[in-house]
Amino acid sequence: MSRSRALGIAAAIFYIFLWASAYVPSKIGVLDSSPLWFLVVRFAVAGGIVLAAALALGARLPRTGAQWGVLIALGVLSNGIYLGLTYEAFRHLASGIGAIIASTNPLVLAIVAPFVLREALTPVKTGGLLLGFGGVVWIMLARTGTGSANATDVLLAFGGVLSSVAGTIVFKRWGTTFDLRITTAVGLLAAGLLLLPFALLTEGMSHVLWSPRIIVSFWYLVVVVSIGASLLWFWLLKHGEASRVSAFFFLTPVFGLLLGYFFLHEAIGMRDLGGLVAIAAGLFLVQRS
């Protein structure tokens, strides 16, 4: 394996770790504040920080309406609609079902990638994706059972997945030449503006149960997830096939298990290990295809 490929895989695994670590602070944001307002403020603060830093370091804003349109569409799809629908769905959706729906992202992207991104869907890649998804389903069923799932919540969560996939396609087709700092900043600010009227209409004035935990959660999501993880995600997409990179989303429940083991002393059983092996084998096949 080449050094650059090994670096890419390590970066993808680190990205998924950061994304998986966002679950707890996000849940705190949903419980202790108005969820949509929490997202609006999070996107506005993160986007403002990145934009100020990027301009100070000499980055240039888009020059044409078409360029602005691409960046705005990217932010709306990858952040605004995706997380807006996901937060709404996760108010009631069982965690196990939510994790399974979220893990359909690589499958959906792999299905459309041959048509819109010209990324081949080989038998080996197909087998790896199905094996990885099967591992996710196995772990979540072993951990949480089938859980409860209202049809509306399932559709909202899957709509979020489709929006995320669409955002990935927009970036790969039209956004790889932009400065990643400007891409991240404009996308976050556009997502915040998109959700603002929905927050006003559905939640009225925002409410917050102020405590150290929500303050820490908010800044962790701003700095580590919205800024750090977003920049890393766009870098990964810029330098690799979208379907290969997205396959690492199967590792999300794996990091959930490991974090629970180390910090909450939750046991990892044999059924969990079976799922972990399936996910690892699936990722190996996807990367080798």
* Residue 141 CA, distance from chain mean position: 22
Q: Are 247 and 106 in contact (CB under 8 A)?
A: yes
Position 227 pLDDT exceeds 80: yes
Percent above pLDDT 90 for the chain = 46
Give the span between the Cα atoms of 157 and 167, in whole angstroms. Answer: 15
Band the pLDDT of 145: cuts 50, 70, 90: low
Give the span between the Cα atoms of 94 and 225, in whole angstroms. Answer: 23
Burial class (CB in 10 A: 0-12, 13-18, 19+), 228: middle
Give the span between the Cα atoms of 214 and 31, in whole angstroms. Answer: 9
pTM of the complete model: 0.87
Band the pLDDT of 147: cuts 50, 70, 90: low
Please compute the mean of the pLDDT values over residues 206-232 and round it to a whole number.
94
Nearest one of 243, 230, 249, 227 to 78, comparing CA atoms: 230
Instruction: Encode 249-288: b = buried (16+ Cβ within 10 Å), e = exposed.
Output: bbbbbbbbbbbeeeeeeeeeeeebeebbebbbbbbebbbe
